[in-house]
Structure 1
Amino acid sequence: MPFVLISVQTGMKHTIRSDVGMTVSIIRIIMQWMSVIATLISNIFYNKLSVQYFNMRKDYEKFLSTFIPTAYRTKYFFVLSLTMICLFIVRIVAFYSIMASIRSINNIRGYSFPYFAMAGAFFPVAITTLSGFNFYMEMLHFRFYAIQINYRLSELLAQSQTFPKYQTNAQKMIISCEISDRVDELIILYARLEETLLILNNAENSVLGFYFLNKLFELIIHGFLEFLTVAGYSSISITSDVFTQNILNNILGVIEIVLMVLNCENFMKEVLLIPIIKYVRFSLFFKINYLDRKHSKNSA
């Protein structure tokens, strides 16, 4: 690590004339490496909790498929997953294309920027991006589970509100009891969803904090370095394609954060709809009692 920093510092002297810019670049690399190391330590510390979470999620998927055999909106979630995978690949390719471009520019000026030094500078960004990608996919799983519960609940709600006219009160009461049993199953699914989500939150809480902290350093410092380039503090003439790559890379970083926040927000919206289960359950309870009294009265 110290040797990498010395090599990066030497390369910065051939790239940036500003001492402030060089200092900021070194601080960025140090902070990002510290964030990556802290993330790895956190993963080791919460290793047992992570294993417990993945086992619980696997069991939950089996449990969910038992009570809700039909999967809803699978194409929609496939597109979301594919979008995030493509974004992750593009970001990694963009990082190392910028690295190769800067190295080629330095080679023209007679200074060979070591590959391992540049890889050491960009490696933390790749690890951070991977951490965010993993969390996004896990939250996408939970959003999928919540939507399955909500869709099944909407079907049961519609079924409970419309009974065929030709059915007797006893038949309606039997159907209401069956729907009530299905609603009880959804309540169990919801409770287990909360339990599994709590385990994920405990396992990924610190990792997510380091992720957003790293992204904050990345976006702010990258923006500052772009400003130094525009202001003429660069020792080399940055070509338009390299400058455009840097700008697009920053935009992709913002898109990555926005997608993650939107995914979590949409999951919260789906979860907020689930308490309707209680309304359906109480509605069925009163309907069953009403039909029972009516059936008893007619029998008498």
Structure 2
Amino acid sequence: MKLENYSARFSGKVVRFKMKNRITKGFRNSWQLYILLLIPVVYVFVFHYIPMYGATLAFRDFNPAKGIMESPWTGFKYFQRFFSSPSFGTVLTNTLALSVENLIFGLPLPIILALALNECEIKALNKTVQMVTYAPYFLSTVIMVSLLMQWSSLNGGLFNNILAIFGQEPVNLFGSAKYFRPLYIISGMWQFTGFNSIIYLAALSSVDVSLYEAAKVDGASKLQKIWHIDLPSILPTIIVLLILNCGQIMNIGFDKVYLMQNNINAQVSEIIATYTYKVGLIDMNFSYSTAVGLFNSIVNVVLLLSVNQLSKKFSETSLW
């Protein structure tokens, strides 16, 4: 029995020695790569992990004179305040509605554009469409909103000039709350569809050419090739991007919403990001705004984990 125990301990030491030797040898052979890896690791640690201690503001009654660590604990006081505030229902509803609608209408278009460009055999047309659809992505948010305001202007705006041609009355898009969400979503589709299609085009470029040749021999049409070859090939990419988008569903862009927001559409445009900015930086209520932001992040994490688990259960694709 003692001999068996000694043999087991000896075998364990041999395994640990081999593992240590392998790690040491691997580091010695690739030390340049580990140094390069150290740079992003330090960046993430310094700018993403160290500042996380500031999240404790959500559980403290912050006093600038005492600092974060010396401010007294208040528990879930500010979370309860947010949940019981009159703005909670409106802010949460607006955030979810805008995010879900943006996801529903924005996700299919890049896929359709990528499939169409992949089937286009005229190189000049292909490059022209790519240039035209990619260009809006490089416009800043301020310029984008400025263009929307000019195009929707009652005095010579492009949209109202087109309506006038068809004998319709001018419409003040920024002067009515019901037009805020359609205007936000449509402008987002115009700005991001071209750029987002790059990922799907890259996935389509890896499709085995022999599959197209076999489909051509079998007499398959273009629609049949898209349905039976292209879509199944990019389906894992679609699922991964869907999971990532669901994980960011509460992080609807602050800048564009804030620039498009006014007193008329505030009831439908007030989202968690703008609400946090107003109560945090404008009203100087740092603890309360931190609690709202932390709640937003927790919901995003829960959604990400849930969607990833569902994807793993019903398909073979997931983030981990």
The two structures have a TM-score, normalised by structure 1, of 0.28
The two structures have a TM-score, normalised by structure 2, of 0.27
Task: Give the number of the structure with larger relative contact order, counting CA–CA contacts within 8 Å between residues 6 or more apart.
Answer: 1
The answer to which structure has the higher helix fraction is: 1
